Every structure is written in structure tokens, then in C-alpha cells.
Structure 1
Amino acid sequence: MGNGGGKYRKGSSWGLWGVLGMGGYADVGHVRAIFSSATSFTLENRCSFTVWPGSLTANGPPLGDGGFVLAPGSSSRLQPPPGWSGRFWGRTGCNFDNSGSGKCVTGDCGGALKCSGGGIPPVSLIEFTLNGHDNKDFYDISLVDGYNMAVAVKAVGGTGTCQYAGCVNDLNTNCPAELQMMDSGSVVACKSACAAFNMPEYCCTGAHGTPQTCSPTKYSQLFKNACPTAYSYAYDDATSTMTCTGADYLITFCPTS
């Protein structure tokens, strides 16, 4: 599986269970869900600015047609089919015409409102696999492809540990100069060290392609210190993959806690 940068990320629910995914449709605006599922996703925008969520499904049509607009203070409910696997991300600074063509400053997916592929890094990812091993849902926040905005996942109901997964801190404010993505004189995103330097020790490739040979770096540690429950590098599984059974999920852009 890949994202806008064409990179398969090891070590998350996406990597472990991505082959299980099937597509679904959304309840966005006046479009009704056509699947019956025990699980729902509610995406809410607590930012002071508009967010354009994107979605990518491992196998099948994407939820929410791949992307839609979410005004400040608004929310949309998506209904996945059982066994769905995929990811969400927030796009910022978008401008689309009436045909859905345009561009986003961060998280762009080929210049379209309705994404048919992943978002271009750097971008904060929200990843899920539903009804995976032992019928558990697996979910995580990933900064492996960098950071563009604060995001969080909260399980509503369900059984098991059902931990909160989030990156609440604004990493753009303390992003090292060598990782900064700039637009109009402002830092709009923070690149991963892999994207910035393309070196095996940062990308967990080649001789560094196993958990034993790919260790945290000063850059991934900066991400981890700011967002302890998020993936900071490819093999950051121990503190970053969350599980729950039978829950609904609240996905928040710009969470406050």
C-alpha cells in the first residue's frame, strides 16, 4: 500500500492488516450510507480553518468519495463495511473549482477534491483496520510521512483497551529548519527525516530494514516527545498501535486534548 509519496509504511495497522480492507460509502451531506456496519467514523473539525479530509481504502472504493470539505465546527459521519482498512488525513489551504479540480497546500492528492490516491507528504495520517486479528480494530496516528496538522482518534464504546491516539501539539512551531515545508513565508508542515534526507537509517530500508537495525533518530525522537502515542518512525509499534473491539470512532482535526 502507498501514499502520495509512493512509500509503503511498515509497522502500523495499515501494514499489518491492510489486505483485509474493503470499500464503503459515506453519509456526507445528503449522501446516505449503503452499508450496514457496527462501526462508524465521525470526522469533526475543531480547527479555526476549513479542512478537506482525504481518505484511501486498501481495497475497494474510498469512504466519503475519497474527499470532501469540512468547515470549522462541522462534522461528517462515514459508514465503513466490516473489515475495512484504510487511512484518513486532513488537507489544508485547498482551492477547488466547481468540477472538483484544484490544489491543496498540504496533503494534496493529485489536484482533486475526491482523492483516488494518498496525500502527498508531509501529512499526518489516521490509519485503521477493522475486525482484524482476534476481531479487534487496529488504529494509529502516524507521523512517519511527516506532520501537517494535529489529529486524534477516540474510541466511543467498545471493549478492550481502546486507547486514545493523538498528536495534539503543533509540530510546525518547533520543526527543525531542515525539515520545514514553507508556504508564503510560514511553516505549513514538518517533513519526516526520510523525506528530507532519503537515507536508509531514516527510511528503515536496506541494511536498516528491520526493527533490530532501524532505531529512533534525533528527528523521530522530536516527533515522539511531542506526540507520545503517534508513530514517529516505521517500527514504533509498541507505543503506537491501539486496539478496540466493537467501537465507533471520533476523528478530530485540531483536538484540544
Structure 2
Amino acid sequence: MVSFIRLVAAAAAFASSAYAAHTITFHNACGWAVGQTVSNYPGGGGFNGPFQLSIPAGGKQSITVSDGWNGRICDKPPNSGCENDCWGGIAFGKASCSMTEFTMNGHNNLNYYNISNIQGYSVALMIQPVGGGCENLICQGVNCPCKQAYRPGDISGTCGGTGALDQAVRACGNRDYNVIFCP
């Protein structure tokens, strides 16, 4: 009987850990290969997969992150200012560096996501929650609307003082997300 209880407990733990993951799938619609760097923020759940990704034109690749993951994925073009931890860009006198940012299972157990060009715009991006019911974010140029992405150099998070704080951030209960390059 004890063995049966252990087996049931192990199966339940495995099932909950299998469900306690989020898949982010990168789709490259650009006419060139795109590179990304995946970076964990301190204090969040970890990502243990490959931190440097390269996706050929027309290709796709997925990563799995845990519940509680808090991190960013930055564009890593050949002349990007993004360093290995996604720091760099115009704020540090380097080339531009577009990125997506995620907090999984944040406040009210929702997932928070945004497109950030604070370190500079380097590629068009779209975040699309899988399964619908939540808002897509899309930024196709350096001057995309503040409700879609943080603007280059704007560390205030208020669209240069003209809007609400963090208006580019969305919250969603969906587990999985697509990030599309050159949508």
C-alpha cells in the first residue's frame, strides 16, 4: 500500500511539474537568420536551456520556462549592442537591442509580457498569446505606439512622461506564447 501511495504521489508531482511550464515559440518571418539571447532575472524561476538561439529565415524554435520565470529575450543581430545578459544597447553607448520581457505567474497568477525598445529598436516583434483571448503586442518600427512597446531610451516607462506607467505591459492567463520576428 505504501508503494502505491508513493507511486500516486510521484505521478501527481510529475503531472503538476509537467503542467507548470510555459512554452515560448519563436517564429522567424524575416529574410535573414535571427539570433536571441535568453536571460533570467534574479529571483525568478530559472530557464536552463540554451541561452543563445539562432533561427534561420522562415524557421521556428521553442523554449520551455518554468512557472515563476522572470526574464527577457533579446535580439542578437551581428552588430547588436546586447550583451549575454541582454544589457547593452543605446543606454550603454552600443548598437540597438529590441527585446521581449516576461513574468510568468506574477500578480493574480497572470503572465505579464511586453516588447521593450528601451535599449534601442533593432527588429520588428510581435508577442501573441497562444489560444486567443488576450491581446497581441506588435512593434514594427522605431516609433511604434507606446501602448505596444516601450520607446527607445525611455526608462520612465511613461512614454516620455506623456502616458500612464507601464502601458506597454499586458497580463494574460494563457500558458504559452509566440514571439514573431518581422511580423
How many angstroms apart in 2 are the aligned matches of 1:63 and 1:253?
23
2:41 aligned with 1:58: yes
**Letter of the aligned partner of 1:151 in structure 2?**
L
Deviation at 1:39, TM superposition (A): 2.0
Match of 1:156 in 2: 130
Structure 1 counterpart of 2:157, one-letter code: Y
Counterparts of 1:92 and 1:67, CA distance in 2: 12
The alignment's TM-score, normalised by the length of structure 1, stands at 0.53
Q: Which residue matches 2:12?
A: none
Q: Given the alignment of the two structures, is residue 86 of structure 1 paired with residue 54 of structure 2, yes or no?
A: no
Structure 1 position 167 matched with structure 2 position 150: no
2: CA distance, partners of 1:79 / 1:123: 23
Q: Which runs of 4+ in 1 moved over 6 A?
A: none
| Number of the residue aligned with 2:178 | 250
Measure the CA separation in 1 of the matches of 2:21 and 2:64: 9
Residue 118 of structure 1 corresponds to which residue in structure 2? Answer: 86
**TM-superposition CA deviations, 1:75-133 (whole Å, max 9, x none):** 1111111111100011112xxxxxxxxxxx11442xxxxx3x22421211100000000
RMSD of aligned alpha carbons? 2.1
Counterpart in the other structure of 1:30: none
TM-score (ref. length: structure 2): 0.73
Gaps of 5+ in 1: 1-34, 94-104, 110-114, 172-222
Higher share in strand? 2
Other-structure match for 2:149: 230
- Offset, 1:69: 1.2
Question: How much has 1:224 moved relative to structure 2?
Answer: 4.6
Give how far 1:235 is off: 2.1
**What amino acid sits opposite 1:130 in the alignment?**
M
Using the alignment, how far apart are the partners of 1:238 and 1:68 within structure 2? 28
**Residues 1:136 and 1:76: Cα distance change in structure 2 (over 3 Å):** same
Identical counterparts, % of pairs: 28
Equivalent residue for 2:92? Answer: none
Other structure's SS at 2:50 match: helix
Q: Number of residues paired by the alignment?
A: 149
CA contact 1:57–1:87 (8 Å) conserved in 2 = yes
Structure 2 unaligned spans of 5+: 1-16, 90-95, 159-164
